[in-house]
């Protein structure tokens, strides 16, 4: 069954795609990525009022999972500070998720992967910036850049377990990892989610997505809309299959970005989406994608793009 949606006429809500458990918390599967709130490093700074409007409107539309990091900042904006200023006091059902592992210097350059004993400092930085006593979810982002880093995650996960036991965080996740690293982490502690780069035209982690479903672990793609294999975020969406995606979008009165998000959410009930934006209008379009239902013909057309 299809669901026609006009982004100019209908404003959807984040609960339209259903819910999933992140540890002991229930979240709507359509969330918000914070990275673009203040603007990307290669863009002019965004207006603070726009970032505030996006965050407050997101919560009004039912978004209760916001993904952020202390290393999301530009010369004039910190995403964690924007979140804290816009949303405190935080809604009771809001899960704030952050990432630790990499860090950035004042000039924006990424620093080497933190040692396990350095993770406490990174978690505490997020706690201070966000104005909370406990992080709802901390993802260990393994390695710097888009390439997954081979090797054991055991010591880093062990450090996060200690921080969880100390009450600094509630739930542990992983980012930028392999199936073997997920399996290793699961032998140490429950894992709430895996956050890897993945999308309609970026299908390298199909098997990992399926493994997460088998293990009851949320799979939370980043750059599901923004980029594709081999491209940087600066390059924007991959043009592969643009005609086919546009045809499906026209059928539903939607945008190609909404189709990519709807496809992502239909990859499995354990798959979440965290599209990022600093534009209030784009936020409403992203949230409206939770209401889209692609039929078998749509899915066949879209899946053929990656197979081609």
Active site amino acids: 72
* Cα gap 110→131, rounded to integer Å: 24
Residue 97 forms beta bridges with which residues? 67, 137
**CB 194 within 8 Å of CB 212:** yes
- Give the orientation angle of helix 119-130 with respect to helix 154-165, to 10 degrees: 50
Residue 78 forms beta bridges with which residues? 73
Alpha-carbon distances of 271 from 69, 137, 193, rounded to whole Å:
21, 16, 9
Burial of 307 (0-12, 13-18, 19+ CB in 10 A): exposed
Residue 30 forms beta bridges with which residues? 273
* Cα gap 80→67, rounded to integer Å: 10
């Amino acid at each position: 069954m299809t669901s026609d949606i006009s982004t100019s006429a209908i404003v959807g809500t984040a609960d339209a795609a259903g819910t999933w458990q992140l540890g002991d918390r229930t979240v709507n599967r359509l969330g918000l990525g914070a990275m673009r709130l203040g603007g990307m490093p290669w863009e002019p700074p965004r207006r603070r009022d726009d970032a505030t409007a996006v965050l407050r409107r997101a919560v009004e539309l039912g978004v209760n999972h916001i993904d952020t990091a202390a290393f999301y900042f530009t010369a004039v904006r910190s995403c964690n500070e924007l979140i804290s200023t816009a949303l405190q006091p935080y809604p009771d059902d809001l899960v704030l998720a952050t990432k630790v592992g990499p860090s950035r210097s004042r000039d924006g350059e990424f620093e080497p992967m933190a040692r396990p004993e350095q993770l406490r400092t990174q978690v505490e930085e997020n706690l201070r910036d966000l104005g909370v006593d406990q992080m709802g979810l901390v993802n260990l982002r393994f390695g710097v850049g888009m390439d997954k880093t081979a090797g054991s995650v055991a010591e880093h996960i062990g450090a996060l377990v200690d921080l969880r036991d100390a009450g600094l965080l509630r739930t542990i996740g992983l980012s930028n990892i392999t199936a073997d690293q997920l399996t290793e982490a699961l032998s140490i502690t429950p894992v709430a989610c895996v956050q890897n780069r993945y999308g309609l035209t970026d299908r390298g982690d199909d098997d990992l997505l399926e493994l997460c479903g088998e293990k009851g672990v949320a799979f939370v793609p980043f750059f599901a809309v923004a980029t594709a294999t081999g491209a940087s975020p600066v390059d924007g969406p991959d043009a592969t299959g643009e005609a086919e995606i546009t045809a499906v979008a026209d059928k539903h009165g939607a945008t190609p970005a909404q189709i990519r998000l709807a496809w992502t959410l239909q990859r499995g009930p354990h798959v979440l989406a965290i599209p990022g934006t600093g534009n209030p209008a784009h936020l409403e379009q992203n949230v409206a994608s939770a209401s889209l239902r692609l039929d078998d013909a749509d899915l066949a057309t879209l899946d053929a793009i990656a197979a081609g």
